[in-house]
Amino acid sequence: MTELEHEALRGLLGAWALRACLSDEAGELERHFDVCPDCAEEGARLRHAAARLSTDDPLDRPDGLRQQVLDFCLARRAPELPLAPWVGPYAAETAKLDALLRDLGRSEWQESVELPWHGGVLRRNPAAVLCHLAAVDGLLAVALGLPDPVEPAGSAAPADPHGPVDPFPRVPAQARSSADPWDHLLERSDLLAEARSDLSPDAVRTLWRQQSLAVIRTVQPGSSALVRYGPGAELPVRDAFVDRAFECWIHGEDVARAVDYPYAGPAPQHLRQMVDLAARMLPTVLAGLRTAAYAGAGGRPQPAARLLKLVIEGPAAGEWLIPLDAERRPEPDPNPDPNPDPELVAELVMDGIEFCQLAAAHRDPERLPVGEYGDRAAIREVLTAVPLLSRP
């Protein structure tokens, strides 16, 4: 065989690995394998790699093969739709959950999924979990000018398609004015699950996936939109994307646990964004707890400026200083200290995944392995507050 003939056959290896050769070409190449160990070895390696990229097995492998391929492709050609760094976690987690859902069999769609949060445990099947995600993601969609998936209640006159979109359709007024800004989220979820109850699970998955992709493709990197979750509960769109990625990951893991399916955590750079958002939201929760405690005792907080250092270990490693003392007070302080010197009173060390699981109320703060240094009462206060970041 000439060198030219050898190179011609070698050029068919990629097509052969993908089973895209004509039958006579495949036969000729396979006969060539008998006399050329190098081509036989390369052909076997390429076919093995092609099999691992099959759409029948969509989840990324532990060695990150899919991500390696994507990284290589993006290094050669810029993405058509560049994403802001804060959109990346949502894009990754929705794709990961979609890959899991594509693998579910008919019986697995009927499994009961437990969704713990600080108010208890909800139980939903995977399709209802998707309706919950879609209903809350709908508030992000509305902020970006997209339709809300929760249809408004029937009325005498049809809604004006060019008019403003009600971000809370079919949610009773008393729920909107509740002291808990998250109260209406469950009702939105239940309404959407009821509206889609006649659809097949795959149709529910398709609608959820279409919405998540529309949100990703619509947002602009410089967007300054605010996402309104409820009265007094707003997040800048960049934080809302990280928040929605966090919930998608947690509930995806809930579904995976119910069907006994392996499910990887977020990429390190995405996990760090989730940890950062939770750490930045903690002072608000601590403020609410402290305000409620002083109101119940009928007293007034003492001026203070204590800090706790939160040290996160693992892939999302970093440090955050958490203010422990509320800026909001139930009563004005008659003699405020305008410039109290902050005092570092404690240090709390924990893994980033465990911190996020605690923020989702999927861990018991009393049984969580942590490193503690300094004021134990302050540490207990923070560990008790973190699960209150969770919501239905």
Residue 167 pLDDT grade (very low, low, confident, very high; cuts 50, 70, 90): very low
Name the domain boundary from 265, 289, 312.
265
Q: Which domain holds residue 254?
A: 84-155+165-265
Structure tokens at 68: 């390696």
Asked if residue 76 belongs to a domain, the reply is: no
Closest CA relative to residue 195, chosen from 137, 127, 95: 127
pLDDT at 179 over 80: no
Higher pLDDT, 58 or 2: 2
Same domain, 172 and 276: no
Same domain, 292 and 194: no
Torsion sign, CA atoms 69, 71, 75, 80: positive
Same domain, 145 and 253: yes
- The pLDDT assigned to 75 comes to 62
**Cα 29 off chain centre by:** 46
Report strand pairing: 343-351 vs 306-313: parallel
Same domain, 246 and 330: no
pLDDT at 9 over 60: yes
Higher pLDDT, 36 or 294: 36
Higher pLDDT, 99 or 165: 99
Torsion sign, CA atoms 239, 243, 245, 249: positive
Q: Are 165 and 239 in contact (CB under 8 A)?
A: no
Tokens 């809930």, located at residue: 254
Same domain, 213 and 360: no
Asked if residue 61 belongs to a domain, the reply is: no
- The pLDDT assigned to 66 comes to 59
Same domain, 41 and 118: no
Q: Are 39 and 9 in contact (CB under 8 A)?
A: yes
Number of domains the chain is built from: 3
- The pLDDT assigned to 182 comes to 61
- The pLDDT assigned to 6 comes to 84
Name the domain boundary from 265, 294, 315.
265
Higher pLDDT, 326 or 202: 202
Virtual torsion, Cα 337, 338, 344, 347, nearest 10 deg? 110
Residue 124 sits at φ, ψ, to 5 deg, of -140, 155
Asked if residue 358 belongs to a domain, the reply is: yes
Q: What is the pTM of this model?
A: 0.72
- The pLDDT assigned to 161 comes to 36
Same domain, 260 and 181: yes
Asked if residue 281 belongs to a domain, the reply is: yes
Looking up residue 223, the CATH number of its domain turns out to be 1.20.120.450
Looking up residue 326, the CATH number of its domain turns out to be 3.30.1050
Q: List CB contacts of 391: < 8 A, sequence separation 6 or more.
A: 117, 118, 182, 185
Same domain, 363 and 383: yes
Name the domain boundary from 265, 297, 317.
265
Same domain, 26 and 128: no
Asked if residue 75 belongs to a domain, the reply is: no
Same domain, 300 and 218: no
Same domain, 90 and 123: yes
Asked if residue 142 belongs to a domain, the reply is: yes
Residue 205 pLDDT grade (very low, low, confident, very high; cuts 50, 70, 90): very high
- The pLDDT assigned to 84 comes to 84
Same domain, 326 and 216: no
